[in-house]
Structure 1
Amino acid sequence: MTGHAARKAVLVLTNTEDGTADPVIHHLQEREVPVVRMDPGDFPATMKIEASLGSEAWTGSIHDTFRGVDLASVRSVYYRRPSQFTLTDGMSGPEQRWAYREARMGFGGVLLALDRPWINRPAAMSAAEYKPVQLTTAVRSGLAVPRTLITNVPENAVDWATAQPGPVIYKPLGGAFHVEESKTHIVYANQIEDLETLRDPSLSLTAHCFQQWVDKDHEARVIIVGSDVFAVAIRTASEAAYIDWRSDYASHEYEVVEPPPEVREGLRRYMDDFGLTYGAADFVISPDGTWTFLEVNPNGEWGWLAEDCDLPIGESIAALLEKGSR
Structure 2
Amino acid sequence: MVSRLPGSVLIVSETDDLHATAMAATLREHHGLSPIHLDLRDFPRESGSFRLDRLGTTRSLSHVIGLDTVRSVWWRRPHPCQVPGGVRASDDAYRQAECDGFIQGLLWSIPAFWINDPGADRTAARKIVQLETAQRAGFAIPETLITNDPDEARSFVESRPGAVVYKRTGTGRAEFAETRIITAADFGKLAGIRSAPTTFQDYIQAECDLRVVWVDGIAWTVRIDSQAGVGRVDSRLDTSVEFTRDQLPASVSKSLATLMGALGLSFGVLDLRLGLDGEYYFLEVNPQGQFAYLEIKTGLPIFQSLSNLLVHSDGMVPGY
Note whether the superposition's TM-score is higher than 0.5. yes
1:80-131 Cα deviation digits (max 9, x unpaired): 1222312235453222211111111112101100111111122111101111
CA contact (8 A) 2:269 2:286 kept: yes
Q: Look up the match of 1:310.
A: 299
Q: Look up the match of 2:148.
A: 152
Structure 2 gap segments, 5+ residues each: 314-320
Query: CA shift at 1:51, angstroms?
Result: 1.9
Query: CA shift at 1:194, angstroms?
Result: 1.6
Query: CA shift at 1:247, angstroms?
Result: 2.2
Q: Look up the match of 1:143.
A: 139
Q: Look up the match of 1:244.
A: 234
Q: Look up the match of 1:294.
A: 283
Q: Look up the match of 2:274.
A: 285
Structure 2 Cα separation of the partners of residues 19 and 109 of structure 1 = 26
CA contact (8 A) 1:7 1:34 kept: no
- When residues 105 and 167 of structure 1 are mapped into structure 2, their CA distance, relative to the original with a 3 A threshold, is same
Q: Look up the match of 1:36.
A: 36
Structure 2 Cα separation of the partners of residues 112 and 150 of structure 1 = 32
Query: CA shift at 1:25, angstroms?
Result: 1.3
Structure 2 Cα separation of the partners of residues 313 and 199 of structure 1 = 41
Q: Look up the match of 2:98.
A: 102
- When residues 208 and 318 of structure 1 are mapped into structure 2, their CA distance, relative to the original with a 3 A threshold, is same
Task: Note the 1:76-225 alignment, pairs <5 A.
Answer: 76-175=72-171, 178=174, 185-194=175-184, 197=187, 200-225=190-215
Q: TM-score, normalised by structure 1?
A: 0.88
The SS at the match of 1:20 is helix
Structure 2 Cα separation of the partners of residues 254 and 323 of structure 1 = 30
Q: Does 1:322 align with 2:318?
A: no
CA contact (8 A) 2:229 2:238 kept: no
Cα RMSD of the aligned pairs, angstroms, is 2.2
Q: Look up the match of 2:22.
A: 23
Structure 1 Cα separation of the partners of residues 207 and 172 of structure 2 = 23
Query: CA shift at 1:204, angstroms?
Result: 3.2
CA contact (8 A) 2:8 2:66 kept: no
Letter in 2 for 1:219: D
Query: CA shift at 1:58, angstroms?
Result: 2.8
The SS at the match of 2:154 is helix
CA contact (8 A) 2:6 2:71 kept: no
Using the aligned pairs only, state the percent identity.
30
Q: Does 1:270 align with 2:259?
A: yes
Q: Look up the match of 2:316.
A: none
Q: Which moved more, 1:31-40 or 1:307-316?
A: 31-40
Structure 1 gap segments, 5+ residues each: 179-184
Query: CA shift at 1:195, angstroms?
Result: 7.3
CA contact (8 A) 1:167 1:212 kept: yes
- When residues 303 and 319 of structure 1 are mapped into structure 2, their CA distance, relative to the original with a 3 A threshold, is same
- When residues 57 and 190 of structure 1 are mapped into structure 2, their CA distance, relative to the original with a 3 A threshold, is farther
The SS at the match of 2:65 is strand
Q: Which moved more, 1:235-244 or 1:217-226?
A: 235-244
Structure 2 Cα separation of the partners of residues 318 and 248 of structure 1 = 28
CA contact (8 A) 2:169 2:198 kept: yes
1:156-182 Cα deviation digits (max 9, x unpaired): 22222222121111111114863xxxx
Letter in 2 for 1:191: I
- When residues 69 and 149 of structure 1 are mapped into structure 2, their CA distance, relative to the original with a 3 A threshold, is same
Letter in 1 for 2:276: P
Query: CA shift at 1:69, angstroms?
Result: 3.0
Letter in 2 for 1:202: G
Query: CA shift at 1:152, angstroms?
Result: 2.3
CA contact (8 A) 1:60 1:72 kept: yes
- When residues 7 and 243 of structure 1 are mapped into structure 2, their CA distance, relative to the original with a 3 A threshold, is closer
> How many correspondences in the alignment?
309
Q: Which moved more, 1:237-246 or 1:154-163?
A: 237-246
Query: CA shift at 1:56, angstroms?
Result: 8.7
Query: CA shift at 1:6, angstroms?
Result: 6.6
Structure 2 Cα separation of the partners of residues 12 and 136 of structure 1 = 30
Letter in 1 for 2:156: W
Structure 1 Cα separation of the partners of residues 208 and 55 of structure 2 = 51
